[in-house]
Structure formats: structure tokens, C-alpha cells
Structure 1
């Protein structure tokens, strides 16, 4: 049996990530929840959920059959396969078939739809726009708040999964963005305003100001917003997904 341990912002997102990586469907796996995770308070103390997903609906070959490794993004080729005391060395990993960019994007649209439906969002509509290597998936639903989550945590997790699915088999690398309505634009405006307030605070108090953990592109928004200020400097500390930005006065 093939087994994988994954983490995510929620248990369901961790499961979805593992299922996508294994290349199977949800009803072909058995799930063991190792850690339910926690949201934390004001972004601090958050902990990712962790699950172990095991493929269970796989036909076992007989002793004399040659083992054919199914297509899957992650396979440990160093392990030996033992069947009825007969050890058969696995073949080389079967490469994932490359898809055209259009086919990979369509696969990601379907994937996002399935995740949303699994979250109880039956009216989900997914569309996309392409600008060179950049792809934006637009999600529409009456339950938009569920797709966004607190401070965009659910939406960020969906974006990370969509990035993985799109580039798993695409013949060209794509930078993926997932949005609901104009949330990303409003979030960036909010971050820019926050950046100015916190920079002023750092200068006024002479103390470092530490912001809550953010994904890399949100930290970049703040870095860019403050790049022209000569009275402060910004830098990141910690490790993802808990990496955070620090604003410090240089006076």
C-alpha cells in the first residue's frame, strides 16, 4: 500500500493535498488524523493539521506478476516491495505524463471545484485568466467567506494546492493565483495601509515591530510598500508557514 503524511491549514486541505500527490481519489484512501491543528489567536500560535493517507483500493498482484508502479508524483524508489515472502525490486519511477498548459489548467479547475464541493460549497464556479506564465483562477460562490477563511488562510491554502496541481504535469511552469471576487486587491490595499502604520510606529517608538506570519507574496507586498522609506528597513524571520516580517527603524 502507498502511504503519505501531509500537513495543511485544515484537516480537509491536508487530505486533499495528499490525495492529489498520490494521484488517487478520496474514496480510494484511508485517512488517519495525526493532529487536528489549531487556528491560533491573531495569527500567533497557529498549528497546521497533519494526516496520514493510505491507498487502500489497489489490487494486489500475484507472486509471478511483474510490479507496475502507478503514476504518482511521489514514490520512494529505494523501498523494496514484499509479496508472499518474494522480494521484487520496483521498476524505475514512471514519469508523469506532461500535459499542455491548457490541459493542466483545466485539471486544476476541476480540482478546485472538487475541493469546494467537499467543503459543502455546491454552487462553486471556477474560471481562469492567463497572462504569460501567470494564471489566475477566479472562484465564485454565495459562500465566498468559506473559501477565503480568516485573513485569507483558506484561500492561501487553495492557492498553494492549485500551484502544485497545475505544475505537477504541465509542460511549462505557471505562477498560480487564486482569488475570490476582488479579495486579493482589497487584501493588498489593507496590507499597504498596515505597512505605513507599523513603519510609523517603529520610527516613533524606536522598537522593532513584528507582524503576524504571512505567506511570501503578502510579505512582498509590505516590502514593496515600504521600499522607498529611508527611515526603516524590513526583513523576514522564522520558517514557513510561520515566517513573519519585521520592521525596524534605522535612525
Structure 2
């Protein structure tokens, strides 16, 4: 499924629901607002927002290597009510405690509870979560026999869950937290795959004497490639375009 028309009480909620159903992130889609939402007065004249969300086409000639654990099983999508509840969290009054440690602990526990609820909706009943904290950086390592379902194609489901988890965490913390989700060391394996691809594409640029373009990718993946090639003196890497179509180019230096 590359396109979906979604309704919601607000445009933002409709978009967020569509992202989860498509298993992608806002950087990888285009959004067409069909109808703006309207609250109305005393229940009269209200109107749902309606959006059309389309996944951007990838460049077919430079596909990023994919880490494959297993063929993903089909799983029911998270409900619109569940997504809308999470999206609404930052718009509500935040719970503020004086002790940052206390709020961080609360934020992590609430995020884990949310993830387990989503897993249950996806028919995953064996999810376990291990927490690694380093100040404002929190990594939640997920374990399940259905790891491929949690990851999705090229990590799209995992990335969508990570975005929503960050919303949940920062509702309950008075210090901004950076949340990262990982399943069976997927992030590390993805990084290794990107680094290997970077070297191959750099060699191709030198061999052909022509610039090499990658497919559009999230900023953190572009940073991995920039860093992997930062010590090479025979090529230059630049990012081109604007999100969600921003991509990386390798240019050989004469």
C-alpha cells in the first residue's frame, strides 16, 4: 500500500494515523489535505479532516541494501483511536515533577506500556523490552519471535513506532528525551549495511568518473554515509534537495 486517504478530528491526527498504517515516516511521504477539520459549536457544524498521504517513489537504480530477518507476517494495524490518543499527548498539559530522574523514569515506563499495547494490537504477545539509559538518550531494545513485523520493510514500522514513542516519552518528562527503538540489533546491522554501501558507491564514482546518487533517505542515514566516507580524499559527499526527497550524492574529485 503506497497511498491512503485518512480522516481524523484534526489534520495532524489524520496524517499520523496514515503514517502508522503505511508503516512510514513523514519524511518519506507527500501529504495532500483534502478537507480541513472543524470543531463546530456545541456539536453542530463539526467536520472531520481528510488527507491523502502518498509514499514517495524511491530511486530504482540505487536501492539501499536491506537487512532482512524474515518475511514479515501480516499484522493488524494500530487503531485510529490509539494513534490519536498518542498524537494528542503533546497538546495536553505536561506532567512536571521537580526531579528530572523521576520524570525520566516515569517517561520510560509509560513508553514501554504504550509499546506493549501496540504489540498486543499487532497480535504480538511475547514482547519484552530492555532499557539502556544515558542521560537524555534512551534505547529500548525489543525482543519478540515476530521481530520482522516490528521492523517492517527497511525499518519503516520500527521508525514509525519510534516517532510515536518519542511523543509519549516527552509527555511525561520535563527534560527532553531522545528515544531509539531497536529490534535484534537492527540499527547496528542497518548501519553496517549503509557503511558497506557507501564504500561500494564511492568506488563506483571513482571507477566511472561520474557522480553517484542515492535514493532519498532519513537524515540520520545520510549522516552514517557522510561519516563513513569522511576520511576519503578522492570523493566528496553532499546532500541535495529538500525533505522528504533529500538524498546524498557522491562526487569524484579530480
TM range (shorter): 0.5 to 0.7
CA distance in 2, matches of 1:149, 1:246: 26
CA contact (8 A) 1:11 1:36 kept: no
1:243 Cα offset (Å): 2.4
For residues 143 and 215 of structure 1, do their structure 2 counterparts lie closer, same or farther at Cα, with a shift above 3 Å needed? same
Cα displacement (A) at 1:198:
0.4
Over aligned residues, Cα RMSD in angstroms? 3.1
**Residue of structure 1 in register with 2:127 after alignment:** 124
Q: Note if 1:193 corresponds to 2:196.
A: yes
Change (3 A) 1:43 1:107: farther
The answer for the alignment partner of 1:246 in structure 2 is 249
Match of 1:175 in 2: 178
DSSP-derived class of the 1:248 partner: strand
- Residue 91 of structure 1 corresponds to which residue in structure 2? none
Q: 2:93 aligns with which of 92, 95, 98?
A: 95
> Which structure shows the bigger proportion of residues in helix conformation?
2
Unaligned runs of 5+ in 2: 1-7, 25-47, 62-79, 83-87, 98-102
Q: Counterparts of 1:199 and 1:12 in 2: how far apart (Å)?
A: 32
What is the CA–CA distance in structure 1 between the aligned matches of 2:23 and 2:227, rounded to whole Å? 30
CA contact (8 A) 1:109 1:127 kept: no
What residue is the counterpart of 1:84 in the other structure?
Answer: none
Change (3 A) 1:224 1:12: closer
Equivalent residues, number: 194
> Larger C-alpha radius of gyration, 1 or 2?
1
Residue of structure 2 in register with 1:184 after alignment = 187
Q: How does 1:1-251 map to 2 (within 5 A)?
A: 3=10, 4-7=13-16, 8-11=18-21, 34-35=51-52, 37-38=54-55, 40=57, 72-74=89-91, 95-98=93-96, 100-251=103-254
Q: Distance in 2 between matches of 1:111 and 1:96?
A: 17
Please, which moves more after superposition, 156-165 or 189-198? 156-165
CA distance in structure 2 between the partners assigned to 1:54 and 1:120 by the alignment = 17
TM-score (norm 2): 0.66
Higher relative contact order (CA 8 A, sep 6+): 2
Q: Distance in 1 between matches of 2:142 and 2:50?
A: 28
Measure the CA separation in 2 of the matches of 1:145 and 1:43.
23
Q: Distance in 2 between matches of 1:164 and 1:72?
A: 7
**Equivalent residues of 2:214, 2:247 under 8 A apart:** yes
Tell me if the contact between 1:238 and 1:244 (Cα under 8 Å) persists in the aligned partners: yes
Distance 1:43 1:36, change over 3 A: farther
Question: Unpaired runs of 5+ in structure 1?
Answer: 15-30, 45-52, 56-70, 75-93
Deviation for aligned residue 1:140 = 0.9
